[in-house]
């Protein structure tokens, strides 16, 4: 009979699962009896992971199955994606694995062919290249004072970046501005030590998002983040990105 999980590890596992269920309310199912997490993305397919008692301590999630919408076995590809994530021991990694599976499903050959067809259309060839970018980043937590200051103060062309940061559990960062300044700021942040750092939205645009305040501001809650996003379509994009809608 397996040893009971450490209370601290069990608490971390429970907290991570609760957060995921809030982020993916319609596509994720947790079976406590089987210790298995099943994820069904909107694009189709099924991912099943088994969680050892000592995850997220010394063990990592075990891949049980991964299939596409047409029932193709994707386990080998999924293992390659998970390996490429270079997940660290003693780290909550389920959201990163789920995002990796999302990318795998989106990059199926059928999707690649459709993308190639769109790119071959005459209007696509003449489309102007966007100079603005918006990113939404989900952090396991944002507590450290130096990280909070860094999140608020880009070192490269700070006047070209606007946005909102929310510290605490979880941490959320929303930035919009010129593509070069955004990429530099995200790269600087990513180089810090994070328990989890997931880019949940990263899209070019013809213009930057508008926020209620100038520059980059820190707020205390997720609802305040939403209130500070001016455009209604952008609000909905944010809510979808963090798994609320």
pLDDT at 128: 39
Residue 33, Cβ neighbours under 10 Å: how many?
A: 5
CA–CA separation, 60 vs 56, rounded Å? 6
DSSP state, residue 1 = -
Of 161, 103, 58, nearest to 152 by C-alpha is: 161
Would you identify the CATH topology of the domain 128-239? Alpha-Beta Plaits (3.30.70)
Of 191, 229, 183, 233, nearest to 210 by C-alpha is: 229
Domain with CATH 3.10.110 in the chain: 7-109
Residue 132 token pair: 């603005």
Residue 125 token pair: 């060839």
pLDDT tens per residue across span 106-143:
765 444 443 344 334 443 333 334 589 999 998 888 99
Residue 137, beta-bridge partner list: 173, 199
pLDDT at 116: 42
Task: Please report, in tens digits, the pLDDT of each residue of the chain (245 residues total).
Answer: 444 455 588 888 998 898 888 888 889 999 999 999 999 988 788 999 999 988 988 888 999 999 988 888 888 878 877 776 667 678 888 988 888 788 777 765 444 443 344 334 443 333 334 589 999 998 888 999 999 999 999 988 889 999 999 999 889 999 999 998 999 999 899 888 887 788 888 888 888 999 999 999 999 999 999 999 999 999 999 988 887 65
Q: Edge-to-edge strands of the sheet including 46-50?
A: 28-31, 36-39, 46-50, 62-67
Helix (H, G, I), strand (E, B) or coil at 236: helix
CA–CA separation, 55 vs 89, rounded Å? 9
Would you identify the CATH topology of the domain 7-109? Ubiquitin Conjugating Enzyme (3.10.110)
pLDDT at 82: 75
CA–CA separation, 227 vs 45, rounded Å? 35
**Side-chain-side CA neighbours of residue 166 (13 Å):** 20
pLDDT at 125: 34
Domain with CATH 3.30.70.100 in the chain: 128-239
């Amino acid at each position: 009979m397996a040893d009971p999980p450490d209370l601290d590890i069990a608490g971390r596992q429970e907290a991570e699962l609760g957060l995921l269920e809030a982020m993916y309310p319609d596509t994720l199912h947790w079976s406590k009896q089987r210790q298995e997490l099943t994820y069904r993305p909107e694009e189709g397919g099924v991912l099943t992971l088994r969680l050892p008692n000592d995850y997220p301590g010394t063990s990592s999630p075990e891949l049980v199955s991964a299939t596409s919408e047409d029932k193709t076995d994707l386990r080998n590809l999924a293992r390659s994606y998970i390996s490429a994530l270079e997940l660290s021991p003693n780290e909550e990694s389920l959201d990163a694995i789920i995002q990796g599976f999302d990318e795998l499903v989106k990059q199926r050959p059928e999707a690649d062919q459709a993308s190639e067809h769109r790119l071959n259309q005459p209007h696509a060839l003449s489309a102007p290249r966007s100079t603005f970018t918006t990113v939404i980043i989900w952090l396991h937590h944002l507590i450290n004072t130096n990280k909070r200051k860094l999140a608020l103060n880009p070192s490269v062309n700070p006047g070209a970046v606007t946005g909102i940061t929310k510290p605490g559990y979880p941490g959320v960062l929303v930035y919009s501005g010129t593509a070069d300044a955004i990429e530099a700021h995200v790269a600087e942040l990513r180089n810090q030590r994070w328990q989890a750092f997931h880019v949940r939205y990263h899209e070019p645009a013809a213009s930057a998002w508008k926020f209620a305040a100038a520059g980059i501001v820190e707020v205390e809650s997720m609802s305040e983040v939403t209130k500070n996003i001016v455009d209604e379509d952008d609000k909905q994009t944010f809510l979808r990105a963090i798994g609320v809608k």
